[in-house]
Amino acid sequence: MDAATTANMLQTMQDQAGIPSHPLIFQILMVFTWIPHILFVNISLGAALVGLYAFTKRQDPNWQLLSEAMTKVAKVGVSLLVVLGVAPLLFTQTIYDPSWYASNVLSAAWVIGFIFTLTIGYLAWFTFYLKNHGAQAPGWIFWLGVFGLAMFLLDGFIMHVLAYQGLHPEKWLSWYTPGGHVDMSGTAIHAFELPRWGFFMAMSLTVFGAFLIAYGDYFKVRADRAPAYLDFARALGAKIAITGALLQVVLLLWWLIDVPAQVHVWTHPMTWLLAAYLFVLLAAFWLARSNNAGQGYRLLAMSIGMAALVSIFREVLRMAYLHPFNYDILNYKVLWDIPSFALFLFTIVVVGGLMGGFIITLVYKAGRVQGPYEADATVTKLGNGSLASTAIWVVVFIGTGIWIWLRNNG
């Protein structure tokens, strides 16, 4: 399809209902909510890989402990990455609806397969987790874990395909009608980009490595964790992170070479910023490699910074890919809906802040003491706030609802 027709098509496919707030709001939310998603993807994939590797060496007590701990990290991590994926899923289809829906429908069977494989992969991992206790854990469960991880990798690949196919609107029609015959089966994967997918996988090593160093620091205060074990974890983390960062540099280069010339990726400052930052990160890991006690949080924070740059880069790239087709979210029709936007702000600030803050602070503080934990003044206040905010939220929402309902239907 030529560029002009593609541009018209995209414009027609955008939802006529428009969007209820300024497009930049959605774009910023999309980019920033994707950061935690990919961070948990990274931590989970890394933890699953290391948990499995450590399992094969479980005769050694350090590896055995690590295997159990990382199996659990991956278990919690995957459930979080799923919830965290929901927010960018929502925002991407608000402003990039043509790309997202077309790409999904064209590979619909894979989309459904994604749900199915994620479910059984997770159940397999969960079973592995339930049985992975002590040096005596049966060997066969290793394969359950491998199966789980394989499914997660496949799902990451499907995610990648869905994101990537959306960048090529000029090809949708030919993918849908190969040889002039309409293919409604949704069974094909039409396009993927290995270095791009590989980059996110390598990123998993980096982020997970940093996580492992931070893990070593976090448990320093707990008498029941041997310092030798924590040193071991940190040293391993450093090695993994360095490998990951190196691979990322290589894969980024390959990825950039693979991007079509009309996208002009080389002249974009974001490209160079990301590349430079990767070198800085690599250097930071390298310098901390032999003595990294107490550096975990800093390195993890730097890795989160990298994830933020990656997220922005991904968006910059998307804008550049769609630019030849005049697709610019700033032209999206806006019909402001203030009440529902206010509801969101209230919810995220008040409920998210108080209840989320309560739980995270509580878990963090309770985790650092051995034995029972008695709430301190901050946690007590947060707890009250948490309860009050959720209750007030319900009263306000239902109250507004009754009022509007009576007005409209009375």
Partner 1 sequence: MNEMLGLYPQWYVPGIGTAWVMGIIGTIHVLASHTSVGAAWLFALLATKSVHENKPEIMVYLKKYGMFLLVFSYIIGSITGPGIWYSVTVASPRGISGLIHNFVWLWASEWVFFFVEVIGVYAMVYLIGKIDNKTYLKLAWSFAVASWATMILIVPILSFMMWPGNDHWFQTGSTFDAAFNLNYFAHLGVRTAFMFAVAGAVGGIIASTLKDRETRIEITRFLSKMGLAGLVLMSFMFMWYTLTLPDNARLIMDTQMMPRYGKVLLVLLTTTALYFMFTAWKPLQLRQSMAGAMTLAIALFGLWPEERSRESMRKPYVAGQYIYSNQFFSRDVPGKGVKSDMPLIKANGVLATDYFVPADLHTITPENQLRAGSLLTHVMCANCHSLEPNGALRPLPALFGYSKEPKMIKAYLDGALYHGMVPYMPKMPLPEDEREAMAVYIASLPGGSKKPASVAINQTEIEAKGVN
Dist CA 326 CA 14 (whole Å): 13
Residue 314: which of partner 1, ligand HEM, none does it interact with, CB under 5 to 8 A by kind?
ligand HEM
Cα–Cα distances in angstroms (integers) from residue 279 to residues 96, 202, 205, in the given order: 32, 14, 15
Q: 98 or 156: whose CB is closer to ligand HEM?
A: 156
Residue by residue, DSSP assigns 311-372 as HHHHHHHHHHHHGGGT--GGGS-B---HHHHHHHHHIIIIIIIIIIHHHHHHHHHHHTSSS-
Contact 228, 251 (CB under 8 A): no
Dist CA 124 CA 140 (whole Å): 12
Q: Which of 58, 225, 234, 314 binds ligand HEM (CB under 6 A)?
A: 314
Q: Which of 24, 28, 135, 387 binds partner 1 (CB under 8 A)?
A: 387
**Least gap, CB of 368 to partner 1 (angstroms):** 12
User: Residue 19: beta bridge partners?
Assistant: 334
Q: Which of 134, 139, 267, 335 binds partner 1 (CB under 8 A)?
A: 335
> Which two tokens mark 119?
């479910």
Q: Is residue 107 near ligand HEM by the rule CB under 6 A?
A: no
Dist CA 328 CA 73 (whole Å): 40
Residue 159: which of ligand HEM, partner 1, none does it interact with, CB under 5 to 8 A by kind?
ligand HEM
Q: 200 or 325: whose CB is closer to ligand HEM?
A: 200
Of residues 110-169, those binding partner 1 (CB under 8 A): 111-112, 114-115, 118-119, 122-123, 126
Q: Is residue 148 near ligand HEM by the rule CB under 6 A?
A: no
> Given the rule CB under 6 A, which of 76-84, 259-267, 288-296, 337-345 is the region that contacts ligand HEM?
76-84
Residue 334, helix vs strand vs coil: strand
- Taking alpha carbons only, the member of 185, 220, 229 closest to residue 293 is 220
**Residue count, binding to partner 1 (CB under 8 A):** 100
- Taking alpha carbons only, the member of 128, 116, 122, 127 closest to residue 158 is 116
Contact 132, 71 (CB under 8 A): yes
- Taking alpha carbons only, the member of 276, 300, 277 closest to residue 288 is 300
Q: Is residue 32 near partner 1 by the rule CB under 8 A?
A: no
Q: Which of 46, 51, 156, 237 binds ligand HEM (CB under 6 A)?
A: 156
Q: Is residue 378 near partner 1 by the rule CB under 8 A?
A: no
Phi, psi torsion values for 139, nearest 5 degrees: -65, -35
**Least gap, CB of 104 to ligand HEM (angstroms):** 10
Q: Is residue 21 near partner 1 by the rule CB under 8 A?
A: yes
> Given the rule CB under 6 A, which of 14-22, 61-69, 163-171, 321-329 is the region that contacts ligand HEM?
163-171
Dist CA 103 CA 306 (whole Å): 28
Residue 41: which of partner 1, ligand HEM, none does it interact with, CB under 5 to 8 A by kind?
ligand HEM
Residue 122: which of partner 1, ligand HEM, none does it interact with, CB under 5 to 8 A by kind?
partner 1
